[in-house]
Chains A and B, each alone.
With several copies, the nearest count.
Chain A
């Protein structure tokens, strides 16, 4: 049977992708951030998951205000990098895992999650930057990817509790899949940042560190963070952190932290990365 063995929480700042694409990872500005990603890349190479479920949000790339799914799961064979206005990132096409993705979609709907099933979904920096962070610049991505896209742009996004429960249902579904697959889940977005308004540039490192700490020490607190607290304390775009709760829900209660990295700033954002493994 498939096994969900680990989760990664990581920011997905487009500037991080641009630094990779434009060979700037060794500049004074970016080096401290990328140095901290090295152990994560080694971990990824050593663990070599067959499939990674990447929980992310679309940023007006695949979806517009015409249609706003709360949770969309990508079941296609492949997903093209989206043109976000600069032309698509020159990264490999993202290969899906339709069998597992459809199995997840079916299991989740029967478990009363109201998924949107996506056969066509270009993927933007929300998904490709975490791949760049974890895998560097390979010719093809070293794992299959199941995109799980969460609305965090149109208020209201799903609650932290709903996300956490979705994670639990994903875990159950993965482990009922009759193939010997090693599966990881990434929760992406955050950490504290605000891109918009006169308060743009907000960073709340105390909030972020406490968030990283409580992913292993006090998940219950995180699950109950209301939208208004994310907005106020972590910034309007820091509210993306709710997506990390899906990743956390998919892991054991006593998952342990094996690595973390926190750096300010990446563009306008506090960048964090954490690796959690099931015991």
Chain B
């Protein structure tokens, strides 16, 4: 990701800007392909063989196979695309949220029921640096 954008200081956020989109093109197009049942079937049968037709980087390929949800974003994935893989796995958006943050599913769900992640302390990267 470029670091000189006006939104670069928002923490824990991967804006799908031109650089990100270029990086993730084939990764996202793989995810999109799971919209079709015939493709889902093939992917179910042999994930690795199915991935061979998409010219991804080895890191992207590994992130898919390992369901490294935050890694997928860092490597150019967009959440609406990577969520196709979660749908394939039968995982819902809150579970993905938990896994991206690296907390137990129940903790994430409880946070949402209690009003979600607050905006206070979550606007700027520097706020995270201080507390981290």
Q: Check: A46 CB closer than 8 A to any chain B CB.
A: no
The residue of chain B having its C-beta at the shortest distance from the C-beta of A197 within the complex is B12
Q: How many Å from the CB of A97 to the closest CB on chain B?
A: 12
> What are the residues of chain B within 8 A of A199 when measuring CB–CB?
10-13, 117, 122
**Does B92 belong to the interface (CB within 8 Å)?**
yes
Q: A231-B13, A232-B10 are in contact. Are A105 and B80 (CB under 8 A)?
A: no
A114 CB, min distance to chain B CBs, angstroms: 17
- Given A59-B80, A198-B70, A205-B115, decide whether A83 and B12 contact each other with a Cβ distance below 8 A: no
- Report A-chain residues with C-beta under 8 Å of the C-beta of B46: none
* A192-B119 Cα distance, complex, nearest whole Å: 10
Mostly, the B contact residues are helix
Q: Is the CB of B45 closer than 8 A to any CB of chain A?
A: no
Q: Is the CB of B116 within 8 A of A202?
A: yes
Task: Give the complex CA separation of A66 and B26 in angstroms.
Answer: 10
Distance (whole angstroms) from the CB of B50 to the closest CB of chain A? 15
Q: Is the beta-carbon distance between A236 and B13 smaller than 8 angstroms?
A: yes
Q: Verify B7–A227 contact, CB threshold 8 A.
A: yes
State the CA gap A197–B35 with chains docked (Å): 23
Q: Determine which of B13, B37, B119 lies in contact with A206 in the assembled complex, contact meaning CB atoms within 8 Å.
A: B119
For residue B60, CB closer than 8 A to chain A, the reply is no
A-B contact count (CB 8 A): 160
Q: A84-B87, A196-B73, A201-B111 are in contact. Are A268 and B10 (CB under 8 A)?
A: no
Contact between B84 and A197, CB atoms less than 8 A apart: no
With A60-B84, A86-B87 as given contacts, are A195 and B97 in contact (CB-CB < 8 Å)?
yes
Q: Are A202 and B34 in contact, CB atoms less than 8 angstroms apart?
A: no
In the bound complex, residues from chain B placing their C-beta under 8 Å from that of A59 are 80
Main secondary structure of the interface of A (DSSP, over half): loop
Within the assembled complex, what's the spacing in Å between the Cα atoms of A74 and B116?
35
Question: Would you give the 0/1 interface string for B5-18, flagging 1 where the beta carbon is closer than 8 Å to chain A?
Answer: 01100111111111
Within A73-111, the residues touching B (CB, 8 Å) are: 75, 82-87, 98, 102-103, 105-106
Q: Which of B29, B37, B70, B101 contacts A65 (CB 8 A)?
A: B29
A245 CB, min distance to chain B CBs, angstroms? 19
Q: For A65, what are the chain B residues with a Cβ–Cβ distance below 8 Å?
A: 21, 25, 28-29, 32
Would B15 and A204 count as touching, CB distance under 8 A? no
CB contacts under 8 Å to B, within A142-196, are 153-156, 192-196
Complex contact B119–A233 (CB within 8 A) = yes
State which residues 1-60 of B face A: CB under 8 Å.
6-7, 10-22, 25, 28-29, 31-32, 34-37, 40
Q: Are B34 and A201 in contact (CB under 8 A)?
A: no
Which residues of B have CB within 8 Å of A264? 112, 115-116
Query: A205 vs B117: C-alpha distance in the bound complex, in angstroms?
Result: 11
Contact pick for B35, options A14, A85, A155, CB 8 Å? A85
- What residues on A are CB-neighbors of B81 within 8 Å? 60
Residues of chain A within 8 A of B115, CB atoms compared? 203, 205, 264-265
Known A200-B96, A236-B13; further 4 A-B contacts with Cβ < 8 A: A61-B35, A65-B21, A206-B119, A237-B79
Please list the residues of chain B having a beta carbon within 8 angstroms of any beta carbon in chain A. Answer: 6-7, 10-22, 25, 28-29, 31-32, 34-37, 40, 70, 73, 78-81, 83-84, 87-88, 92-94, 96-97, 100-102, 108, 111-113, 115-119, 122-123
28 A–B contacts, CB within 8 A, in A order: A60-B32, A83-B35, A84-B84, A84-B87, A85-B87, A87-B37, A102-B18, A103-B18, A154-B21, A155-B16, A155-B18, A195-B96, A196-B13, A196-B73, A200-B96, A201-B112, A202-B119, A203-B115, A203-B117, A207-B119, A228-B6, A236-B14, A267-B93, A268-B93, A268-B94, A268-B97, A268-B112, A268-B116
Which 10 A-B pairs give the minimum distances between C-beta atoms?
Answer: A203-B116, A198-B12, A199-B12, A85-B87, A102-B18, A196-B79, A200-B97, A201-B117, A204-B119, A155-B17
